[in-house]
Amino acid sequence: MSYDLLVIGSGAAGLSLALRVLEAKPQARIAILAKGPLSEGSTMYAQGGIAAVLDAADTTDAHLADTLTAGGGLCNAETVRFVVDNAKPAIQWLIDNGVLFDREGGDYHLTREGGHSHRRVIHSADATGKAVQTALMERILESGAEVFEHHIAVDLIRERLGGGRLGRCVGAYALDRSSGRVITLPARAVVLATGGASRVYLYSSNPDGSTGDGIAMAWRAGCRVSNMEFSQFHPTCLYHPKAKTFLVTEAVRGEGGHLLRPDGTRFMDDYDPRGELAPRDVVARAIDDVMKRLGCPNVYLDISHKPADFIKSHFPTVYAECLKFGIDMTREPIPVVPAAHYTCGGVLTDLSGRTDVPNLYAIGEVSCTGLHGANRMASNSLLECLVFGAAAATDIAATMESIAPPPVVAAWDESWVTDSDEEVVVAHNWDELRRFMWDYVGIVRSTKRLERAKHRIKLLLSEIAEYYGTFRVTNDLLELRNLAMVADLIVRSALSRRESRGLHYTIDYPDRDAIAPAQNTVLVPKNFTARRQN
């Protein structure tokens, strides 16, 4: 069976796009690929909220200016304007689709996070992503779209033209994780909504599936990627030997939380006049510096000076999680450390989410739209998912009927491979990759460390390619293959930027390049061809 649309990914970006396409084209045949359960993605874990101008004292110009400032001179102003202007309609669409946001009196309660000059973050307590994901899942399960849970995409399929040329994207191969069988999913149009690549690092706030699959597949398919050196580290993840990098929302600092040294003294004012409300890259580097200077394993985040009822009502998820580990945030500070959180670079797209390959779209964290620049401002990520989900859906619905059905696609060929008898190789390489990325390509970098990482990645890619060509694919092998490729893109991008800007900080080039305007890092694959219309 072939589809009108294949959506790879089941978070806010993918589900909102699918629903909007069905609103315009109710008879469209849509397949949605979920790596695990439909609910398992980064959206479900997003705590803070969604940035939008909803208060009369706020303006879209202010939202635009704050985003440009946080982005370190690399944001595309046209993109930022497009997103902030479409923020309020995106929020209304969520409300119309059953998302319940917190109210204070008759108005929605808005909080403020790092980098914002106004309270403009609408939220559902401290579990906004869960509220959004749950509502969208309910709608999608009623919609008639076909959902493939526990399927991981292997690679995109491009139509083969004469003379060895490659044409439009016509589907994807996917591994059924339950059966181990690779299936073929042909489609007129394909959307990558696979999220980011923060699991390339040893410590991450992301779910296990954030392994850069969409970025790697798009690169192999011939798409350019941009600004991969800008990996955002969330400053405050719970530090506890039994906690799996639980994120402590930025809203805790937005509502007055203080960052403390182990001796109980504050330190953020020593690094930035905005204190705890400085952008995440500034806060993460400050914490990293304090930890290295003092030799301490963590710092502390304290909001216990606020009333206990206020803390419990505003941060019920964080409060309950901390209590699991014997930490009462109403009475004592929370031990925290930075962790890899968000991939600001990704697959290059236009304002409709279109990539370099015809009929292939990328939306959400997998993409590089120009919104985030060198550093994502808090709570602009879910907003980007929704705005570009809507924009791509409009483009797909308008062109769907003019796109020829996909041709007959060859089935996946496993006749020349065998089952692996050395899965330990995959596990070892996975662990080694994430460790040296944390040590060499983390919050603070140097050319020597990046060169070491580059050398090791080259060897890993060779080992993985040999393994991939010999044995049947597994989920772990596919994720390792994608992570290694993304790691290579990150390191290549970082080595090419000989300055410190936004999230990329190197001790060899600690200052910004004075040349204006700032330049994006764009990597071009060998099989890149300029985009052609259908």
pLDDT one-digit tens code per residue, 453-477: 999 999 999 999 988 888 899 999 9
173-178: long-range contacts at Cβ-Cβ below 8 A with a sequence spacing of 24 or more?
173/412, 174/33, 174/148, 175/151, 175/473, 175/474, 175/475, 175/478, 176/148, 176/150, 176/151, 177/35, 177/150, 177/151, 177/152, 177/475, 178/150
Average pLDDT (368-373) is 97
Q: How confident is the model at residue 181 (pLDDT cuts 50, 70, 90)?
A: very high
Where, residue-wise, is CATH 3.90.700.10 in the chain?
234-340
Q: Please give the CATH number for the structural domain made up of 3-229+344-402.
A: 3.50.50.60
Average pLDDT (309-328) is 95
**Whether residue 327 has pLDDT greater than 80:** yes
Q: Please give the backbone phi and psi of residue 7, each rounded to the nearest 5 degrees, phi first.
A: -110, 120
pLDDT of residue 47: 81
pLDDT of residue 205: 87
Average pLDDT (275-285) is 88
pLDDT of residue 439: 87
SS3 468: helix
Q: How confident is the model at residue 247 (pLDDT cuts 50, 70, 90)?
A: confident
Q: How confident is the model at residue 49 (pLDDT cuts 50, 70, 90)?
A: very high
Residue 3's H or E segment, with its range, is strand 3-8
Average pLDDT, the chain: 94
Burial label, 407 (beta-carbon count in 10 A; 0-12, 13-18, 19+):
middle
pLDDT of residue 169: 97
State the helix-helix crossing angle for 475-496 and 423-440, rounded to 10 degrees. Answer: 20
**Whether residue 353 has pLDDT greater than 60:** yes
Average pLDDT (154-163) is 92
* Strand partners for 521: none
Instruction: Look at residues 132, 237, 186 and name the one whose alpha carbon lies nearest to residue 359.
Output: 186
Where, residue-wise, is CATH 1.20.58.100 in the chain?
423-511
pLDDT of residue 533: 43
Q: How confident is the model at residue 105 (pLDDT cuts 50, 70, 90)?
A: confident
Is the peptide bond prior to 517 cis by the omega test (within 30 degrees of 0)? Answer: yes
Share of the chain above pLDDT 90, in %: 80
Q: How confident is the model at residue 83 (pLDDT cuts 50, 70, 90)?
A: very high
**Whether residue 219 has pLDDT greater than 70:** yes
Distance CA 186, CA 184 (A): 6
State the helix-helix crossing angle for 475-496 and 447-468, rounded to 10 degrees. Answer: 150
* Of 260-274, 310-324, 365-379, 408-422, minimum mean pLDDT range: 408-422
Buried b (16+ CB within 10 A) or exposed e, 259-276: bbeeeeeebbeebeeebb
* Of 99-103, 237-241, 279-283, minimum mean pLDDT range: 279-283
Average pLDDT (336-347) is 95
**Whether residue 532 has pLDDT greater than 60:** no
Q: Which CATH number fits domain 234-340: 1.10.540.10, 3.30.365.10, 3.90.700.10, 3.20.20.150?
A: 3.90.700.10
Q: Which CATH number fits domain 423-511: 3.20.20.70, 3.40.50.720, 3.40.50.261, 1.20.58.100?
A: 1.20.58.100
**Whether residue 312 has pLDDT greater than 90:** yes
Please identify every residue annotated as catalytic. 280
**Whether residue 534 has pLDDT greater than 50:** no
Q: How confident is the model at residue 531 (pLDDT cuts 50, 70, 90)?
A: low
**Whether residue 141 has pLDDT greater than 90:** yes
Beta carbons within 10 angstroms of residue 337's beta carbon = 22
Where, residue-wise, is CATH 3.50.50.60 in the chain?
3-229+344-402
Cα dihedral: 505, 511, 514, 518 (round 10): 10
pLDDT of residue 161: 87
Average pLDDT (278-292) is 88
Of 114 and 124, which is predicted with more confidence?
Answer: 124
